[in-house]
Chains A and B, each alone.
Chain A
């Protein structure tokens, strides 16, 4: 058993070396268009890490991560819009004139500051997640009811953002590709290369922090919440507090992912808060492997890459493939692809194909008979 464990460890290390090598090599190998796509998908991987934390480890299935994703994007876009509108009439972003607004709404004011923006990108979604989460968790709303509530909240936010032309340009969203940062166009190739590196570093940092959270006793408490939350209360733990914290962390990660996605795709709009997109986020994690952090990252990157490749070749077929993938995972690979590799999947498959010898001894055999319960 120990040897198998070691082998899996090595497999994981090799996987990580390959991932990092791919990221480092990407800018010199890929054309800017493909590099930009990869950068966006890595931004989505940050969101997926948050979903893995709350769903894979803690058992909270949120269908509303799009809220926090879009908020991060809006925060970044608001700063970029302000940063580039100094020469415009009234010194405010152009779209305001379409709706006859000539004074900047008060809540835009703090976004003149780059430092405020850098903090707000993760803090605003995290605080919102903490408030929403706490209201739900303290009332002991769990399981499918929690999922439905998060989806309802998503719809509320979508409709609100969609309708507020005078505040945030409503359904048109905020463009970032023609804004300026450090005196350069955000949409330029050089800037996009830079954002790719920032995103790659952020994915690694996000992975390290989530790993730090789920290791050790804090992570054990999360798994215990997933297993048997009422029991945990009687052991003296307050599950509401733990759930609020991880939901806030996931919200903050979604915000960071949303900001990085926005600057690389050139726009943020209420489309980021549609129901299907938030469900897709969950599918990335399910396919990659719940409870395996590498699985969440690879799931997000590979599914989205497949989506863009398939959509280029056969535009109508992607939804069927995605649906098929989800059904395959639910029925055949409940632990996801990486979970399957980490578990007994490969050995079971070899056994089934008759390619490996069955283990000679029942692993527990050596212990049985030697134990008796003694107080």
Chain B
């Protein structure tokens, strides 16, 4: 079990006594594409917060490439190779599309290197390439704040890929997208798996089905079950937490 790229062991997160996550265990293999679903309040976003260092668990350990992530600040975890896309698109609205991507591909990310030198030509090519993947070349010199919602989602995904992380954590990438954009996003994420390990959190079941990946169901901060979409869908426990079984139903 230690061969996983990411290992979560017995993670418990308590917010003033409320257990957002309790004894959560999860393992991701390199190159894997994994979907995480769960009803509202299941702890999906908290779970990403723990991995990326935003929230410290009260118990348990997070191992990435065999090293513990606990106690490391967010930017160091990001530099280790973990990228995160937020639920609502978060791009730097006062910067152009090109500059947003330039910040993502820059490395090292130290003040002195940013101050003293420009972008290397290989990095400039990479920015161009990323813009062509998400079809934003024509918007290169637009402020990111003037993009549409869908374009911001795509820009943020491009920024994530530009960071070249080993592990991509993608939180609700298709919220607010059209059906067509949703399908394209699913294909994009599938094409990223293999070279990268991708973990997707989503509500949209059609989208999860299209990803065609193993699914982990979270419920009340705990892993309820794992399996393929087809297996999970018929699991009575999953149906119960999603649709609810009240006493009136059982009568």
Contact = CB atoms under 8 A, between A and B. Distances in A.
B104 interface: yes
Interface string A230-267: 11111111110110010000000000000000000000
Contacts, number: 97
Contact of A373 (B92, B93, B134): B134
Interface stretch (A24-32, A221-229, A300-308): A221-229
Contacts of A236: 75, 78-79, 107, 109, 163
A237 B135 CA distance: 26
B6 to A, nearest CB: 16
B187 to A, nearest CB: 5
B221 interface: no
Interface in B119-158: 119, 133-135, 138, 150-151, 154
A84 B54 CA distance: 58
Given A223-B92, A371-B138, A372-B135, A217 B74 contact: no
Contacts of B119: 217
A369 interface: no
Interface residues of A, number: 30
Interface stretch (B11-19, B21-29, B82-90, B241-249): B82-90
Given A217-B102, A217-B103, A238 B90 contact: no
Given A234-B78, A241-B111, A220 B93 contact: no
A214 to B, nearest CB: 10
Contact of B191 (A226, A373, A375): A375
Contacts of B45: none
Contacts of A216: 114-115, 118
A216 to B, nearest CB: 7
B184 A373 contact: yes
Contacts of B118: 216-217
A245 B114 CA distance: 13
A371 B90 contact: no
Interface of B: 52, 54, 73-75, 78-79, 83-84, 86, 90, 92-95, 99, 102-104, 106-107, 109-111, 114-115, 118-119, 133-135, 138, 150-151, 154, 159, 163, 180-181, 184, 187-188, 191
Contacts of B150: 373
B128 to A, nearest CB: 16
Contact of B78 (A223, A235, A242, A373): A235
Contact of B94 (A226, A232, A375): A226
A245 B112 CA distance: 10
22 contacts: A213-B115, A216-B115, A217-B99, A217-B114, A218-B111, A224-B103, A226-B94, A227-B95, A228-B93, A233-B78, A234-B74, A234-B75, A235-B78, A236-B78, A238-B75, A245-B111, A373-B150, A373-B151, A373-B181, A374-B184, A375-B134, A375-B184
Contacts of A217: 99, 102-103, 106, 114, 118-119
Given A231-B92, A375-B133, A242 B187 contact: no
Contacts of B180: 373
A235 B101 CA distance: 11
Given A227-B95, A234-B78, A234-B83, A375 B163 contact: no
A375 B188 contact: yes
A367 interface: yes
Nearest to B186: A375
Nearest to A238: B75
A245 B54 CA distance: 24
A237 B109 contact: yes
Contacts of A241: 110-111
Contacts of A245: 111
A10 B90 CA distance: 35
A223 B191 contact: no
A235 B79 CA distance: 8
Nearest to A375: B188
A235 B90 CA distance: 11
